[in-house]
């Protein structure tokens, strides 16, 4: 005897609510009312005989059964969407990936190189969403995340992209004001500050008698910090991977040879068993190859 199949709208409500951790946000995404999403999920729970969600504070968190079902529904919906796209004229063969990426990594490193990726993989379209916080966002809405921290949610894979180092840099025009520059002179230069990194650590490694400056601009975004440094507003510490392009173009000069380990890493994150994993792996391999250069 065949079992009844739940309405597709109920399955879509389950997937969206599990991904957004909110019935209200799921309702907005699906253009439904909050009560309609609640009704769909209550009916689905009654039909399956299991609890799919629990309220934790202001969030609706899927139970183990709810998360497992939502993940399988998500994969099925994505496969169905790909099948429909493959049928539509002019859309066949295009794989779309939602990428959430740290804003500094995107603006300084990724975007200038993306033309090469599209030349090599013209069948992949990336939709970029910038992220500025050290803590990763909710990973479920995205196909790929490039974030400073690993995702602790079950069902996600991650790879550390690189072991980066920090160097001191300034513009050639600023360095020209110190014709006999020695690393000890660094403490006398105008210094730009980064909210997530201390000058003190670099001074100690370089053997420079200096302390954290009490004056000068403070930047939350490493991309903006590098722009200010290129403009000659002061010296800065920067990740070598982000600064290298500016150094190679002659827009920045590395001050001395001292390097210290970067305190934050970049992690490449995606969901296990993703239906578009082939395209995700293509993007991952391309990123890794670019980082080696």
Which is it for the CA torsion 16, 84, 3, 72, positive or negative? Answer: negative
Query: What CATH topology corresponds to 95-162+265-292?
Result: D-Maltodextrin-Binding Protein; domain 2 (3.40.190)
pLDDT of residue 138: 85
Q: Phi then psi for 207, rounded to 5 degrees?
A: 70, 30
pLDDT of residue 79: 80
pLDDT tens by residue, 118-160? 999 999 999 999 999 999 998 888 999 999 999 988 789 999 9
pLDDT of residue 135: 92
pLDDT of residue 1: 43
Q: Which tokens hold the place of 87?
A: 């049928």
CATH 3.40.50.80 fits 165-261, yes or no: no
pLDDT, averaged across the chain: 90
pLDDT of residue 293: 53
Q: Phi then psi for 245, rounded to 5 degrees?
A: -60, -40
Query: What CATH topology corresponds to 8-85?
Result: Arc Repressor Mutant, subunit A (1.10.10)
pLDDT tens by residue, 172-216? 999 999 998 999 899 899 999 999 899 999 999 999 887 788 888
Establish how many alpha carbons lie within 13 A of residue 254's alpha carbon, considering only the half-sphere containing its beta carbon. 18
pLDDT tens by residue, 268-290? 999 888 888 899 999 999 999 99
* Identical fold between 8-85 and 95-162+265-292: no
Portion of the chain with pLDDT greater than 90, in percent? 66
Q: Which residue has the tokens 């070598």?
A: 240
- Can you give the residue ranges of every domain in the chain? 8-85, 95-162+265-292, 165-261
Establish how many alpha carbons lie within 13 A of residue 97's alpha carbon, considering only the half-sphere containing its beta carbon. 29
Runs of H (alpha helix) within 155-221: 172-175, 199-206
pLDDT of residue 292: 64
């Amino acid at each position: 005897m065949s079992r009844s199949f739940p309405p597709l709208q109920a399955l879509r409500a389950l997937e969206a609510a599990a991904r957004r951790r909110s019935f209200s946000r799921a309702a907005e995404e699906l253009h439904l009312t909050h009560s309609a999403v609640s009704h769909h999920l209550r009916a689905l729970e009654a039909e399956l005989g299991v609890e799919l969600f629990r309220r934790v504070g202001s969030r609706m968190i899927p139970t183990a059964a709810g998360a497992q079902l939502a993940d399988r529904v998500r994969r099925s919906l994505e496969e169905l969407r790909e099948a429909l796209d493959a049928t539509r004229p002019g859309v066949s063969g295009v794989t779309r990936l939602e990428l959430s990426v740290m804003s500094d990594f995107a603006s300084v490193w990724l975007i200038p190189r993306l033309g090469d990726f599209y030349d090599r993989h013209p069948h992949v379209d990336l939709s970029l969403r910038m992220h500025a916080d050290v803590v990763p966002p909710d990973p479920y809405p995205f196909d790929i995340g490039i974030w400073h921290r690993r995702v602790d949610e079950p069902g996600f894979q991650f790879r550390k992209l690189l072991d980066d180092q920090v160097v001191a840099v300034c513009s050639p025009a600023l360095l020209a004001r110190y014709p006999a520059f020695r690393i000890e002179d660094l403490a006398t230069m105008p210094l730009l500050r980064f909210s997530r990194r201390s000058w003190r650590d670099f001074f100690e490694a370089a053997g420079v008698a200096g302390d954290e400056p009490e004056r000068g601009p403070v930047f939350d975004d490493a991309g903006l910090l590098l722009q200010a440094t290129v403009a000659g507003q002061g010296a800065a510490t920067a990740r070598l991977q982000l600064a290298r392009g500016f150094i190679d173009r002659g827009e920045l000069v590395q001050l001395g040879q001292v390097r210290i380990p970067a305190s934050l890493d970049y992690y490449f994150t995606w969901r296990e068993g993703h239906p578009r994993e082939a395209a995700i792996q293509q993007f991952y391999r391309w990123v890794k190859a670019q980082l080696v250069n």
